[in-house]
C-alpha cells in the first residue's frame, strides 16, 4: 500500500485514530462496565433528555431492532426509563433514570478530561487548524452537526 498517495494517507490516519479510540472502548475507559453501544445510547439520551426509540436509532445510525435490544439492556440495568406516550401508545419516550443520569454525568466528565488532555497536547498554533480540519472531514463524510 502506498502511503504517499493522499487518500491512502487519510485512510491510514483515520484507521490509526479509530484503533486508538477503539482501545479506549475495549478497556471500557469511559463506560463503567456497560457496552459501547449502551454507552453511546446513554450519552445521546442524556444530551437530548428524552427521545423516541426511532429517533435514537436514527441518531446512532442503528437498526430499530438493535436499538431496541440496547435500550432493553439499559432498562434492565435501571439506567433508562421507557414511557409510553398517553396520546399515542405507539410512541415510546426514553429518558435517563437517576442512576443513568449519574452514569451519564460521570462519562461526560471523564471524556471531557481525556479530550482536554489530548487538545492541550496539540501545539498552540495548530489547535484551531485541527478543529477546522476535523469539521471539514465530518462534512465530507456527511455529518453536519
CATH class of 34-116: mainly alpha
Residues 6 or more apart whose Cβ sits within 8 Å of residue 32: 103, 106, 107
C-alpha cell at 80: 433508562
Torsion of CA 10, 12, 18, 24, to 10 degrees: -130
Any bridge partners for residue 136, and if so which?
Answer: none
C-alpha cell at 139: 462534512
pLDDT tens column, 12-60? 888 777 777 765 555 444 466 788 888 889 999 999 988 988 899 988 8
Residue 29: its pLDDT value, please?
Answer: 47
pLDDT class for 3, splitting at 50, 70, 90?
low
The 8-class DSSP code of residue 126 comes to: G
Residue 52: which H helix or E strand, with range?
Answer: strand 50-52
d(CA 114, CA 14): 19
67 close to 41: Cβ distance less than 8 angstroms: yes
pTM: 0.76
Residue 122: its pLDDT value, please?
Answer: 92
| Sheet with 92-96: strands ordered across | 50-52, 92-96, 80-84
pLDDT tens column, 52-74? 888 999 888 888 888 889 999 99
Give the burial class of 126: count Cβ atoms within 10 A of its Cβ; 0-12 exposed, 13-18 middle, 19 or more buried.
Answer: exposed
Amino acid at each position: 500500500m502506498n502511503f504517499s498517495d493522499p487518500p491512502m494517507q487519510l485512510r491510514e490516519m483515520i484507521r490509526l485514530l479509530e484503533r486508538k479510540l477503539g482501545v479506549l472502548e475495549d478497556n471500557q475507559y469511559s463506560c463503567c462496565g456497560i457496552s459501547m453501544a449502551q454507552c453511546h445510547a446513554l450519552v445521546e439520551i442524556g444530551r437530548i433528555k428524552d427521545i423516541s426509540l426511532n429517533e435514537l436509532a436514527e441518531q446512532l445510525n442503528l437498526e430499530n431492532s438493535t436499538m431496541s435490544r440496547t435500550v432493553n439492556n439499559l432498562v434492565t440495568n435501571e439506567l433508562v426509563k421507557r414511557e409510553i406516550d398517553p396520546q399515542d401508545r405507539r410512541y415510546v419516550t426514553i429518558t435517563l433514570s437517576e442512576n443513568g443520569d449519574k452514569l451519564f454525568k460521570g462519562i461526560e466528565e471523564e471524556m471531557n478530561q481525556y479530550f482536554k488532555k489530548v487538545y492541550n497536547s496539540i501545539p498552540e498554533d495548530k489547535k484551531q487548524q485541527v478543529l477546522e480540519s476535523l469539521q471539514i472531514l465530518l462534512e465530507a463524510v456527511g455529518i453536519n452537526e
